[in-house]
């Protein structure tokens, strides 16, 4: 069977082990998964109520997501024509890559960031130019330096996954001023709601000044709707119209649209989750400072530990055998901030694990 030759260089996305798999393998009764940055407090009760009252599952969803578009536009105080919806941000990344990238073109990104940017570039036959992070943060100066006449797309994950770090407002503006108008800059703000730092850029107002800017956000993280799959992009209407050509006709389900609208109607839920998350992060900082474990201060609902290769595998395996699923990377381990009880229990486990790594 003939398929694109570049597919042989890629692997399908492999999620971490399920809780049931870990239970069976290590004969455990209790598993805590802190690997995928899900909201440990689930979603707003509004969402569950709205879903339970949905009785139109036998018919196709609204392909234009009209009611959801109205709700998000009101929430962001923008024109509805600036919005496109997707089945999580993974699909929007695919839509953008398919619409923009061609063979012989290139796309610029960090080397330690969300893997799907590179993945879809390769599928489209484009070159992925990956620039190492600078102390865990996007090195925008070096990213700007590699943009050339074949560059079509730049990805900035802000806050960055997996490090939790962020690009400050002025650095982003300075970068946007350097980028040619025909190069699309996508700022992935999947963790936007968790940000508490003062100099984080508010990108939605920048859309009026930079027509080559697209902002991505999602309901999967702070809103607790990862299992429903709904994300969205915000950009100038002309670009949105072109991306809509690539979007599948019914890509967000009736349940997804219903859930997202209901989630927006409960801002208090988000506020409470963010306060708890911020307080719990401080507990992690204090603990790892005491243990002399290096980490990146986070503007997300996870913390990234900076470890050497042997310590990464050692810590990951020890935690797994004790029933704690975290996410390992070549240069560290990412731990999702769980509930207050989960975090307290994990810190006690780590007291046993760290001396052994």
Strand order in the sheet with 213-218: 83-86, 231-234, 213-218, 184-188, 151-157, 106-110, 127-131
C-alpha closest to that of 16 among 28, 29, 34: 34
- Res 25: pLDDT: 81
Domain ranges of the chain: 5-42+268-353, 52-265
Beta-strand ranges (E) seen in 34-117 are: 83-86, 106-110
Q: Name the CA radius of gyration of the chain, rounded.
A: 21
Residue owning tokens 């209790």:
30
Q: What is the pLDDT along the chain (357 residues), one digit of tens a residue?
A: 778 888 778 888 777 667 888 888 888 889 999 999 999 999 999 999 999 999 999 999 999 999 999 999 999 999 999 999 999 999 999 999 999 999 999 999 999 999 999 999 999 999 999 999 999 999 999 999 999 999 999 999 999 999 999 999 999 999 999 999 999 999 999 999 999 999 999 999 999 999 999 999 999 999 999 999 999 999 999 999 999 999 999 999 999 999 999 999 999 999 999 999 999 999 999 999 999 999 999 999 999 999 999 999 999 999 999 999 999 999 999 999 999 999 999 999 999 999 988
Instruction: Note the residue count of the chain.
Output: 357
- Res 268: pLDDT: 98
Backbone φ and ψ of 155, nearest 5°? -110, 130
- Res 16: pLDDT: 66
C-alpha closest to that of 307 among 291, 335, 325, 331: 331
C-alpha closest to that of 33 among 20, 14, 24, 48: 20
Contact 262, 46 (CB under 8 A): yes
Contact 120, 94 (CB under 8 A): yes
Give CATH for domain 5-42+268-353.
Answer: 3.90.1150.10
CA–CA gap between residue 77 and residue 71 (Å, rounded): 10
Give CATH for domain 52-265.
Answer: 3.40.640.10
Run of H or E residues at 327: strand 327-329
Q: How many helices (H) and strands (E) does the chain have?
A: 12, 13
Tokens linked to 295: 């980490």
Run of H or E residues at 131: strand 127-131
Backbone φ and ψ of 350, nearest 5°? -65, -30
């Amino acid at each position: 069977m003939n398929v694109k030759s570049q597919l042989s260089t890629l692997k399908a996305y492999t999620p971490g082990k399920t809780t049931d798999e870990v239970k069976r393998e290590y004969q455990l009764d209790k598993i805590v998964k802190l690997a995928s940055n899900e909201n440990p407090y689930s979603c707003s009760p509004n969402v569950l109520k709205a879903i339970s009252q949905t009785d139109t599952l036998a018919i196709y969803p609204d392909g234009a997501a009209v009611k959801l578009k109205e709700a998000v536009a009101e929430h962001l105080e923008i024109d509805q024509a600036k919005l496109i919806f997707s089945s999580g941000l993974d699909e929007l990344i695919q839509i953008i890559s398919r619409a923009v990238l061609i063979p012989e073109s290139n796309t610029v990104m960090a080397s330690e960031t969300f893997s799907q940017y590179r993945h879809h570039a390769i599928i489209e036959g484009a070159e992925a130019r990956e620039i190492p992070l600078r102390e865990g943060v996007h090195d925008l100066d070096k990213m700007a330096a590699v943009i050339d006449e074949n560059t079509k797309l730049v990805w900035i994950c802000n806050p960055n996954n997996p490090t939790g770090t962020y690009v400050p407002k002025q650095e982003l503006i300075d970068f946007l001023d350097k980028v040619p108008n025909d190069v699309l800059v996508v700022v992935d703000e999947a963790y936007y709601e968790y940000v508490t730092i003062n100099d984080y850029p508010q990108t939605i107002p920048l859309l009026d000044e930079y027509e080559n800017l697209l902002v991505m956000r999602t309901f999967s993280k702070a809103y607790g709707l990862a299992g429903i799959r709904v994300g969205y992009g915000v950009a100038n209407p002309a670009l949105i119209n072109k991306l809509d050509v690539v979007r599948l006709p019914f890509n967000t389900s009736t349940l997804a649209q219903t859930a997202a609208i209901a989630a927006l109607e409960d801002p208090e839920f988000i506020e409470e989750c963010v306060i708890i998350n911020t307080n719990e992060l401080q507990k992690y900082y204090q603990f790892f400072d005491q243990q002399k474990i290096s980490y990146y201060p986070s503007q997300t609902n996870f913390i990234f530990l900076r470890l050497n290769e042997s310590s990464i595998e050692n810590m990951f395996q020890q935690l797994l055998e004790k029933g704690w699923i975290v996410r390992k990377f070549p240069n560290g381990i990412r731990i999702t901030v769980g509930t207050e009880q989960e975090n307290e229990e994990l810190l006690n486990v780590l007291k046993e694990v760290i001396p052994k790594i």
